């Protein structure tokens, strides 16, 4: 069995990975420190399962996009249903209620699984040095983005379609937020013999085309203008992809507006009204908080500090963190609309970032409390911030 070594260096623009933390964990593991042993074993267990997984692509779906090209990604909007009053007419919206029809189009699930698999395998390679994980990760990248027979076209023109209303919407762009972790995975693979110059050039070319589409398409522009979590995730993925392909001026220009986004989204007491208006308000409040966490983390790579930002009337990221903290810690009962049981572990990542930004152990303790089964250890704890 051949082995290589993942040299974790920081060329700037990392979207999620805490390089100092990764280096520290690698050192502790090498020295036999038991602190991250469970985390590492879980990561390797997950990665080993993925070695046997079938590569997925946009070609796996039975449907063909309205363009007539099966290489075009497509999905259905989750919260839209047939109208009981007009069964053959346009669909109507039921916020928070997923229509099972969405699972009939496989691209959304396939994209999510593939990007998560690429990252898990790349992280396993980084910590173990075992080439088999890098080989599998690179093969998944090749199938989804590069190989002529299976590659996805670099657009989301047909994402989150609504029957009778739209063949694709700006809201669908949130499904490509998983490209954020892809860019970090590619950095972890940097220097590996199997990640050849040609392969890197091919995926960089794909991401460059997608980046142009983000900047110029109606769908991209619509999502960029969104005031809620959709706009936040647009900024997060724009920044991740842009920094990876070297579009640093474009990225920095957008990140400079983060203070405006915080001011528009967060009230002086920390509430996020646009997320609280949703029928699953706890999850969406933390979902947007996580997007802001990613953006703030990205901004640090460009010398911009928004975790300490505060508007003249006291609107800030930290206010949003602390507003939600009491509810996530179950010190207060969530009284906003919530039509489904709360999944408290959805909040873990946001508090890992808060612990990193503020060096406050209370956020880290909350992450531990929420991670009752230790299952998040396979990824987040090993690259964002340690328990």
Residues 222-270: pLDDT tens digits? 999 999 999 999 999 999 999 999 999 999 999 999 999 999 999 999 9
Mapped onto helix, strand or coil, the DSSP state of residue 3 is strand
Residue 308's pLDDT is 98
Residue 105's pLDDT is 95
Q: Which tokens go with 173?
A: 């762009």
Residues 174-231: pLDDT tens digits? 999 999 999 999 999 999 999 999 999 999 999 999 999 999 999 999 999 999 999 9
Q: Is the pLDDT of residue 378 over 50?
A: no
CA–CA distance, 166 with 158 (Å, rounded to integer): 9
Residues 278-295: pLDDT tens digits? 999 999 999 999 999 999
Which residues, including other chains, have CB under 8 Å from residue 334's CB and lie 6 or more apart?
Answer: 281, 282, 327, 342
CA–CA distance, 375 with 46 (Å, rounded to integer): 11
Buried b (16+ CB within 10 A) or exposed e, 263-293: eebbeeebbbebbeebbbbbbbbbbbbbbbb
């Amino acid at each position: 069995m051949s082995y290589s070594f993942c040299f974790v260096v920081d060329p700037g623009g990392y979207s999620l990975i805490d390089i100092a933390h990764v280096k520290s964990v690698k050192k502790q593991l090498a020295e036999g420190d038991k602190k991250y042993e469970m985390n590492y074993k879980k990561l390797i267990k997950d990665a080993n399962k993925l070695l046997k997984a079938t590569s997925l692509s946009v070609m796996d779906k039975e449907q063909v996009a309205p363009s007539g090209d099966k290489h075009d990604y497509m999905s259905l909007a989750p919260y839209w249903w047939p109208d009981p009053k007009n069964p053959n007419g346009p669909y109507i919206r039921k916020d928070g209620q997923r229509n099972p029809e969405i699972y009939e189009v496989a691209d959304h699930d396939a994209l999510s699984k593939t990007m998560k698999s690429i990252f898990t395998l790349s992280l396993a390679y980084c910590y173990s040095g075992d080439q088999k994980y890098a080989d599998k990760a690179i093969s998944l990248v090749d199938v989804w983005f590069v190989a002529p027979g299976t590659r996805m076209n670099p657009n989301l023109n047909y994402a989150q379609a609504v029957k009778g209303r739209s063949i694709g919407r700006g809201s669908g762009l949130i499904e490509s937020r998983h490209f954020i972790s892809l860019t970090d995975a590619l950095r972890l693979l940097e220097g590996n013999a199997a990640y050849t110059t040609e392969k890197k050039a091919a995926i960089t070319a794909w991401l460059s085309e997608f980046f142009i589409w983000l900047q110029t398409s109606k769908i991209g522009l619509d999502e960029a203008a969104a005031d809620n979590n959709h706009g936040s995730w647009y900024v997060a993925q724009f920044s991740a992809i842009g920094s990876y392909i070297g579009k640093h001026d474009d990225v920095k220009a957008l990140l400079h507006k983060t203070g405006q986004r915080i001011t528009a989204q967060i009230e002086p007491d920390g509430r996020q009204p646009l997320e609280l208006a949703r029928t699953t308000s706890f999850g969406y409040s933390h979902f947007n908080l996580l997007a802001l966490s990613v953006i703030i983390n990205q901004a640090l790579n460009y010398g911009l500090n928004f975790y300490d930002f505060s508007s003249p009337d006291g609107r800030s990221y930290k206010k949003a963190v602390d507003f939600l903290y009491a509810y996530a810690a179950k010190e207060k009962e969530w009284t906003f609309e919530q039509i489904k049981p709360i999944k408290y572990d959805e909040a873990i990542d946001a508090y890992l970032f808060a612990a990193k930004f503020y060096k406050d152990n209370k956020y880290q303790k909350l992450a531990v409390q929420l991670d009752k089964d230790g299952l998040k250890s396979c990824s987040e704890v090993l690259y964002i911030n340690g328990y």
